[in-house]
Structure 1
Amino acid sequence: MPVPGRPPAPLVLSATERRQLAELADSVDSPNLALRAKIVLLCADGRANKDVATALDITPATVGKWRQRFVRLGAGGLRDGVRGGRPRLLDGTRLNGDSRPASTRELAARFGVSQSTISRRTRDTTVHRHPRLPDPVPVVAREATLLSDHVYEAVRGWIITGQLPPGSRIVESDVAGALGTSQTPAREAIRRLALEGLITHRPRLGNFVTEISQVEAREAREARVLLETAAARRATGRLTPTEVSRLRLEVTHMRNAAKSNDIVAFREADLRFHRLVCALGGNSMLLRLWTTIEPALWQLQVVSSAMFTGDWNLMAARHGELVDALAGHDPNEAVRLFTAHGMGQSSTTRPRRSGPATP
């Protein structure tokens, strides 16, 4: 958390994030969104909240709010969030019989609200609240239990292929209508996807496709590498046979889960494995810090594994090699392997050395 009286650390933007924010800052149709993008860009230049507020003629509190929102949610967090209750729909998008769609300015004047409100209502109606589902494809199954499986596979496919982008709201009736089923199998499928982490339930708002920003993903990986490499360096060559056996047991659980294609069980065994590594590092603070970032790692794992098309058995084998390194006597080798693993560089192949081995 920011320390009172001390300016927050400068934001670090990737080239993609900076380009995206620059495009938003030039937005004419959404002045509020443009302002928020400018706030982030100025903060990324190392300016204090007060200086940014002065430059943009706003309050420091506003700067702090959108700065923190970007840190947590990325560029998507700069948009107005979905609000509770049913959105008020616009009863028309054309004025006076005009053949062209009305602009946000014209609609704002007609309904007596601001342009940003018009934009939010339109977005809530068309994107967040009711994302366009693929054309109806009736699902036929001989048993009710199998019907929910078919709905599950269909919705999961829409999510991992991007037809339902992160942040989209998933409505049971819409899913049922698109697939030609009742709402019961749709409800069961959504619950199953929520348990797997691909869908997130928000109280009083509904179910949404899980999303994680590029900033969150990068920071979670960096924090993971820092913690695990420290634990691995301390643990290498010092583990007892019992402790090594506990690690190998989790690898066995991963192998069994891979064989049965139980990705949820695989994820759980994976996180238990890495949690145990931090516990075996011999520093209780490492484990404490790990538990604080584990929720973010779980979400990141959910999103990344949904897109993973490789061999889960090979993924389990990579964890076996991590155990071998910990059971050996070369801390530098263990650090190298855990770094590559934490940054996602060793999903299916053992990372090669970039130079001669460290003596």
Structure 2
Amino acid sequence: MLGSDRSRPAFHQSYEIIRDKILNGELPGGTKIVEEKVAAELGVSRTPIRESIRKLEQEGLIVNKRVVKPTEKDLRNMFQVRILLEGFSAKCAASYLKEDELESLYNCVEIGRKGTVEEIMRANERFHEIIVNASNNQVMIDIIDRMQSTIYLFRKTVVFYNRPHLIDEHEEIYEAIKARDGEKAERLMKSHLQADLDFCLHLIGN
């Protein structure tokens, strides 16, 4: 059932509940989303559920009324975009990140070494967010933002399955940005994301 917060539209609450169920694995890839069933479970009409599904389709979490189960091609396509955009962003970060942002970036690395799985997830997300925002290119930021939910699924996979060298790579990227070496930061970010892709593909193949 939806919460008692009546100031927020049923659509927003429904959307967040369904999205969270997908992101936490309660609704695994391939699950068919039946409007009537979800509406009954949440105690709302089908209209907000339909709107929620439409938004989740735009975010890439639902395809043809089913929870996304990315194919190898889907993964490659998405990471190709990320490698290009985040590689460029890392290069920008080396030129434009301020000292306090550099500190925040280093904090993400520290949490990545010592935190709980949830803390590491948030730090991982924040690490990439700081770097993407450094591009100061709203079009690029919006493209990455639209992909965030799907990216979260992959981040969760690489953190949960403890991909080797993940945090070491973050620290190397941080060091290159701190040293204002844009070319190196871009190269390291690209190889970091390629390693994420290879790791996810390996898990799919098993």
- Normalising by structure 2, we get a TM-score of 0.60
Higher helix share: 2
Identify which of 130, 147, 151 aligns with 1:297: 151
* Pairwise CA distance, 1:195: 7.6
1-side partners of 2:184 and 2:124: how far apart? 21
Partner residue, 1:272: 126
Aligned-pair RMSD on alpha carbons?
3.1
Percentage of matched positions with identical amino acids: 18
Structure 1 segment 125-136 matched on structure 2, within 5 A: none
- Normalising by structure 1, we get a TM-score of 0.36
What amino acid does structure 1 have at the position aligned with 2:114? N
Partner residue, 1:234: 92
Partner residue, 1:332: 183
CA 1:298–1:346 in 2, change beyond 3 Å: closer, same or farther? closer
* Pairwise CA distance, 1:336: 0.8
**CA offsets, 1:47-100, max 9 Å, x none?**
xxxxxxxxxxxxxxxxxxxxxxxxxxxxxxxxxxxxxxxxxxxxxxxxxxxxxx
* Pairwise CA distance, 1:277: 0.5
What amino acid does structure 2 have at the position aligned with 1:279? N
CA 1:336–1:234 in 2, change beyond 3 Å: closer, same or farther? same
For the 8 Å contact 2:93–2:135, the answer to whether it is kept is yes
2-side partners of 1:310 and 1:290: how far apart? 22
2-side partners of 1:209 and 1:195: how far apart? 7
Identify which of 22, 26, 43 aligns with 1:199: 26
**CA offsets, 1:248-286, max 9 Å, x none?**
1222222222xxxx3233222211110111111222222
Compare relative contact order (CA 8 Å, sep 6+) and give the higher one, 1 or 2: 2
For the 8 Å contact 1:212–1:299, the answer to whether it is kept is no
For the 8 Å contact 2:112–2:123, the answer to whether it is kept is yes
What is the number of residues matched between the two proteins? Answer: 148
2-side partners of 1:338 and 1:219: how far apart? 17
CA 1:209–1:292 in 2, change beyond 3 Å: closer, same or farther? closer
Partner residue, 1:317: 168
The 3-state SS of whatever aligns with 1:329 is coil
1-side partners of 2:196 and 2:152: how far apart? 18
The 3-state SS of whatever aligns with 1:198 is coil
For the 8 Å contact 2:158–2:196, the answer to whether it is kept is no
For the 8 Å contact 1:318–1:347, the answer to whether it is kept is no
1-side partners of 2:190 and 2:110: how far apart? 22
Structure 1 segment 3-152 matched on structure 2, within 5 A: none
CA 1:326–1:342 in 2, change beyond 3 Å: closer, same or farther? same
Which is greater in Rg? 1
